[in-house]
Amino acid sequence: MSNTPAYQALTQTYARLHRYEHLGSLASWDNSVMMPPKGNEARAAALAELDVLMHGIKTDPAIKARLDAAEQEDLGEFERANLREMRRRWASANLLPAELVEAKTHAVARCEHAWRSQRPANDWAGFLPNLREVLRLAREEGRFLAEASGKSPYDALMDNYEPGMSSAEIERIFGDVKSWLPGLIRQVRERQAGETVIRPVGPFPVECQRELGLAVMQLLKFDFDGGRLDVSAHPFCGGSPEDVRITTRYRDDDFVQSLMGIVHETGHARYEQGLPRDWLGQPVGVARSMGIHESQSLSFEMQLGCSPAFLSLIAPLVRRHLGDQPAFTADNLGRLLTRVEPGYIRVEADELCYPLHVILRFEIERALVDGEIEADDIPALWDEKMRDYLGLDTRGNYRDGCMQDVHWGHGLVGYFPSYTLGAMYAAQYFATIRRGVPDLDARIAAGDLAPVFDWLDAHIWSQASRHGTDELVRRATGEALNPAHFRAHLEARYLS
């Protein structure tokens, strides 16, 4: 007989929730990848029903009594960490009424489904009514969470993705980035003006691109027995740790977009596949935060994938699957992937311009939640910030402007800062790895990626949510987040 009955009962409850979440994630993946258009309303109703069912389990009054009782039981360090994460989940769920959870699920499904056709049509007027409703519910959610936590509504929403992080800290970090990044972009562009870059000559058949992507996934040790690659309107990683689903999108005139999208999503997938199997189904066994999740995708895409050593490794794969042409030398691929050219699309942005895309979205979504602006004001503010930050004119171009991302329509308000936080964490990881493995680049070029994967597994994947974010990063690198590593990485890559 266990001497921790309350704790054991809690683990059973959260294992049950994990199974429901597994089904919900696969239904959501199917919604974006396989589902015929006429299935949307029924799928939205089914997912809303599932969300309400899970909400009922999460808010069962018996959980509170068991959490309190478990605090008095004889638990080890791991169990204490799990109990901490259980209490955090319970507190968050109990702040939201079931009616709001159900309404948000319906609104998000309608908005995201319509966005798929409205974005290509540049139909901001058609998109706006659905977006207004999603943002109204996000504000309502933020108010509920803020009243109990004492945080601002935006900070309370951001806590869903970055526990413990505040918008004041994000503003400080981003303010520093804005002070030096535009100057670095100008300096790099002047330097690159004299470079010769050979553009690949297409078309590149989709099936050939797919086979190339699968070959690179294999090189990156993706477990194909525990996941798969598909196509969606917006690349993402979904599913569950036991069944990871990643997607990309293809253009026959540009193979780089799909390839690097696959490398990026494989980073997410390896994190999920690397989470400790003994902890699956428990709150302590999930990814720590979205910033830490993005640090994995950006470790793969930017730190590893765009490095000269890795490009020398995959250049033969590119030639094998897409044909031999002068653009496919490792050196030229490196120039292609590090070309700095301000553009409209965030997911196609180069490494230097990308943070400005994120800062723009952070500033807009915070103003939306705080009630300083309304959804109707987004295009004008977007146009102003794109001109100021990237020197681009997006007036009237909603498709490549404020409609390009699925996040707001999907209710993911407060998510965007995670992308640049992830880039900063990734730079800090690799600074640490390089200190321990001075010949890292030579080993990567020789096909030995173990130093990277072993370090990430030991310090990030296997730790899941055992520690808070700051403690996790401090244990891994010797210090909490230090954005100076990100600046040093960019200056070394683009100016050395």
Q: How many domains does the chain have?
A: 2
The whole-number average pLDDT for the span 318-333 is 97
459 confidence band (pLDDT: 50, 70, 90): very high
Q: What is the mean pLDDT of the chain?
A: 96
Instruction: Read off the pLDDT band of 218 (50, 70, 90).
Output: very high
Evaluate if residue 40 carries a pLDDT over 60.
Answer: yes
* Model confidence at 1: pLDDT above 60: no
Q: Is the pLDDT of residue 96 over 90?
A: no
Residue 264's CB is within 10 A of a number of other CB atoms, namely 24
Together in a domain, 127 and 205: no
Same domain assignment for residues 172 and 235: yes
What confidence tens digit (pLDDT) does each residue in 55-73 have?
A: 999 999 999 999 999 999 9
pLDDT value of residue 392: 97
Q: Are 228 and 368 contained in the same domain?
A: yes
Q: Are residues 195 and 211 in the same domain?
A: yes
Same domain, 107 and 178: no
Boundary of a domain, candidates 116, 148, 163: 163
pTM of the model: 0.94
299 and 270, same domain (yes or no): yes
Cβ-defined contacts of 429-438 (< 8 Å, 24+):
429/295, 429/299, 429/303, 429/455, 429/456, 429/459, 429/460, 429/476, 429/477, 430/299, 430/303, 430/489, 431/477, 431/485, 431/488, 431/489, 432/476, 432/477, 432/478
Tell which wins on pLDDT, 44 or 185.
185
- Do both 289 and 363 map to the same domain? yes
The C-alpha atoms of residue 445 and residue 448 are separated, in whole angstroms, by 7
Mean pLDDT over 295-303 rounds to 98
Residue range(s) defining the domain that contains residue 221 = 168-495
Both 189 and 156 in one domain: the answer is no
Name the domain boundary from 145, 163, 181.
163
163, 194, 222 - which closes a domain: 163
Q: What is the CATH number of the domain that holds 391?
A: 1.10.1370.30
Nearest to 386 by CA among 339, 349, 417, 338: 349
Question: In terms of domains, do 88 and 203 share one?
Answer: no
Q: Answer yes or no: do 295 and 331 share one domain.
A: yes
Catalytic residue status for 265: yes
The string of pLDDT tens digits covering residues 12-33 is 999 999 999 999 999 999 999 9
Q: Does the structure show a pLDDT above 70 at 90?
A: yes
Locus of tokens 């159900």: 102
User: 136 and 249 share a domain?
Assistant: no
Smallest CA-to-CA distance from 471 within 159, 76, 81, 75 is with 81
Check 133, 141, 265, 294 and give the catalytic one: 265
> Following CA atoms 461, 462, 466, 472 in sequence, which dihedral angle do they give, to the nearest 10 degrees?
-50
Statement: residue 2 has pLDDT above 80 = no
Decide: 75 and 5 in contact? Cβ < 8 Å: no
User: What average pLDDT does range 151-170 have in this prediction?
Assistant: 95
How far is 154 from 138, CA to CA, in rounded Å? 9
Looking at mean pLDDT, say which of 148-162, 232-246, 427-441 comes out highest. 427-441
- pLDDT of 45 higher than 60: yes
Q: Same domain for 177 and 43?
A: no
Q: How confident is the model at residue 347 (pLDDT cuts 50, 70, 90)?
A: confident
